[in-house]
Amino acid sequence: MSWFIETCTSSLGKKYIMAVTGLLLGGFLLVHAAGNSSIFWGRNAFISYAVHLHSLGVLVNIFEVMLLAVFLVHVSTGLVLFLENRNTRPSRYQVERSAGGRTWGSRTMPYTGLVILAFLLLHLANFHFTDHDLPIADIVTPILSNPFYTLLYGIGMAALALHTSHGFWSLFQSLGINHPRYDRAIRFLAWLGCALIIGVFTCILLLMLLAGGSLQP
Amino acid sequence: MAGKKITITVKIWRQVGPETEGRFEEHRLEEIDPDMSFLEMLDVLNEKLTLAGRQPVAFDHDCREGICGMCGAVVDGIAHGPEEETTLCQLHMRHFRDGETICIEPFRARGFPLVRDLVVDRSAFDRIIQAGGYVSVNTGSARDGNTIPVAQNVAEQAMDAAACIGCGACVAACPNGAAMLFVSGKISQFALLPQGRPERGRRALAMVRAMDAEGFGNCGNERECEKVCPKGLSIRNIARLNREYLRAALMGDE
Ligand code: FES
């Protein structure tokens, strides 16, 4: 067991944890985006998707608990890494310049992560910890047709776009998957995953803002 | 043919010792030959300081031909200065403009405590190498070079990793002060070759343990290290280190 603890607490072990949990969370986001895209087919399609999902009963609860666990591990490991890395340079450089490796995504990882965390709390308060007497479409519509919420959700999406733009590529590197043979494929897949998730959610936001009140049945 | 001489201002870090406060000092240097190396420019500065009865700037150097890994400083925010795949001793003054102000700082990282001025203590690297232990090579009279077959492409990859001169620019450039590129180069050069295979698992575990103990940071895949590496080591080596360590942690037998 000691090897397990040593591995998990080592610098590389923490990378593996971030990579594996990041991959799982990314997978969840893809499924979540695919499910929610049923709203493009109208109010009834969306409601029936939700009803089907919840007919899985206890499976949904098990899945939620697992997702929460993965999420907490990702956030807490990320925080540990952020705090540890903060004092690895005792004095700052007078001239701080990038040699060209960093991206907007990579340099903002901890901050976008925290924005996403705040966004998720709002998102759960809006749609999860709320009265579920009404059909889901009627809970979602009044909130998301409010431009104030479009703005808040837009900020959440922007943070998610930045975070995943680095994270989806980075997780492969952390797991040791980097080879000339499939370098391009991984970069493309990482980009595609990011674009799909952000694209679908942004379209839903715009749809609800512009036509939320008059969703076709 | 010698180019036109230039005048520059250096803004250089001075610090008497690890415990004292450091500060920047500005010096104007005239008649700098553009064909001079960066270290020769520092020699000119030191001559000037010495003649004025002041302490010269301490900086590390040895071969001055880009192979020993002793030199290094952060020039205008970039470790080893603006030229790619170039050590500080191989950087020439022709890459700077007449009248330019150049900011020169030591490598700053928790793993590299400052000794004086631009000199930092990089012995943490030696301790990581020591932790790596030995490689099983038969001794005795010289053996036929082809007794152990190594494919050409594998030998090339091992040589690319072994090109690391241990200068520490990767640590200096890493936003997280991590030593991953250095360690990955050392791990790769042995893990790729049959001679290094027997101890590969133990080596990966021990070197990562030593790296963490020396106070280096955690890698965030920022890729700054490979951009400043004077020997052009790729982060593919870091991916290999990640594989080697994972393999050793999961399947090692010690
Ligand atoms: S002095 Fe040897 S590499 Fe620069």
Cβ contacts of A119 within 8 Å, gap of 6 or more:
A152, A153, A155, A156, A159, A160
Predicted pLDDT of residue A213: 65
3-class SS string, A7-52: HHHCHHHHHHHHHHHHHHHHHHHHHHHHHHHHHHHCHHHHHHHHHH
Question: Measured in angstroms, how far is the CA atom of residue A120 from the centroid of ligand 1?
Answer: 51
Select the residue of B11, B77, B221 nearest A106 (Cβ to Cβ): B221
pLDDT at residue B145 is higher than 80 = no
Per-residue model confidence as pLDDT tens digits over A42-101: 888 988 999 899 899 899 999 999 999 999 999 999 999 999 999 899 889 999 899 889
Which pLDDT belongs to residue B74? 97
Q: Measuring from atom 3 of ligand 1, which residue has the nearest CA?
A: B66
The CATH number assigned to the domain holding B163 equals 1.10.1060.10
> Is the residue at B87 inside a domain?
yes
Q: Which of B229, B164, B216 is nearest to A12 (CA)?
A: B216
Mean pLDDT of B37-55: 97
Residue B1 scores a pLDDT above 60: no
Residues with Cβ within 8 Å of A89's Cβ and at least 6 positions away in sequence, in order, are B108, B109, B110, B177, B217
pLDDT at residue A205, rounded to an integer:
92
Q: Mean pLDDT of all residues in chain A?
A: 91
pLDDT at res. A216: 66
Q: How far apart are CA A169 and CA B220, in angstroms?
A: 11
In ligand 1, which atom is closest to the CA atom of B63?
2
Backbone CA torsion sign across B201, B204, B205, B210 = positive
The confidence score (pLDDT) of residue B143 equals 78
For residue B132, is it within any domain?
A: yes
Residue B145 lies in a domain: no
Q: Which domain holds residue B225?
A: 123-136+150-251
Average pLDDT for B43-50: 97
> How does residue B55 score in pLDDT terms, banded at 50, 70 and 90?
very high
Residue B193 lies in a domain: yes
Distance CA(B177)–CA(A101), nearest Å, equals 14
Bridging pattern class, strands B101-105 and B6-14: parallel
Q: Is B70 in the pocket of ligand 1 (CB under 6 A)?
A: yes
Could you tell me if the CB of B68 is within 6 A of ligand 1? yes
User: Which CATH number do you get for residue B64?
Assistant: 3.10.20.30
* Dihedral sign for Cα atoms in the order A17, A23, A27, A33: positive
Whether B40 lines ligand 1, by a CB cut-off of 6 Å, is no
Q: Judge contact between B110 and B192, C-beta under 8 A.
A: no
Q: In chain A, what residues touch B176 (CB-CB under 8 Å)?
A: 85, 88
pTM of the model: 0.93
Structure tokens at B149: 């077959």
Of A145 and B126, which is predicted with more confidence?
B126
Q: Which residue has the tokens 């064909």?
A: B35
Rounded mean pLDDT, A17-24? 97
Regarding whether B129 and B87 lie in a shared domain, the answer is no
State the pLDDT at residue B165.
Answer: 97
Q: How many domains does chain B have?
A: 2
Kindly state whether residues B69 and B128 are assigned to the same domain.
Answer: no
Q: Is residue B144 part of a domain?
A: no
CA neighbor of A13 nearest in space, from A23, A26, A3? A3
Res. A217: pLDDT tops 80: no
Residues B129 and B237 in one domain: yes
Ligand 1 centroid, distance to B117 Cα (angstroms): 17
How many CB atoms neighbour CB A146 within 10 A?
A: 14
pLDDT above 80 for B137: no
**From A1-10, A131-140, B66-75, B217-226, the region with the lowest mean pLDDT:** A131-140
Residue A140 has what pLDDT? 85
pLDDT, tens digit, 9 for 90 and up, residues A116-150: 999 999 999 998 888 777 888 788 888 888 899 99
Burial class (CB in 10 A: 0-12, 13-18, 19+), A55: exposed
Query: Would you place residue B254 in the very low, low, confident or very high pLDDT band (cuts 50, 70, 90)?
Result: low
Look at phi and psi of residue A91 and say left if phi exceeds 0, alpha if psi is from -120 to 50, else beta: beta
Q: What's the rounded Cα separation, in Å, for the pair A177 and A98?
A: 25
Percent with pLDDT over 70 in chain A: 97
What average pLDDT does range B121-137 have in this prediction?
A: 91
- CATH code linked to domain A2-211: 1.20.1300.10
Instruction: Give the rounded percent of residues in chain A with a pLDDT score beyond 90.
Output: 67
Q: With respect to residue B1, please indicate whether it lies within any of the assigned structural domains.
A: no
B151 in Cβ contact with B207 (< 8 Å):
no
In a domain, B142, yes or no: no
pLDDT at B93 over 90: yes
Q: Kindly report the backbone phi and psi dihedral angles of residue B155, in degrees, each rounded to the nearest multiple of 5, phi listed first.
A: -60, -40
Asked if B161 and B185 count as a contact pair (C-beta separation under 8 A), the reply is yes
At A5, list the tokens: 């603890």
Do B76 and B88 contact (CB within 8 A), yes or no? no
Q: Does residue B23 sit in the same domain as residue B99?
A: yes
pLDDT at A145: 87
If asked whether residues B127 and B217 sit together in one domain, one would say yes
Answer yes or no: do B173 and B215 share one domain.
yes
Residue B175 lies in a domain: yes
Q: Which region among A36-45, A137-146, B78-87, B108-117 has the lowest average model confidence (pLDDT)?
A: A137-146
- Quick one: B223 and B246 in the same domain? yes
pLDDT at B171: 97
Do both B85 and B177 map to the same domain? no
Helices within B31-132 (DSSP H only) = 38-51, 123-132
If you search the block for the tokens 């450091």, which residue do you land on?
B22
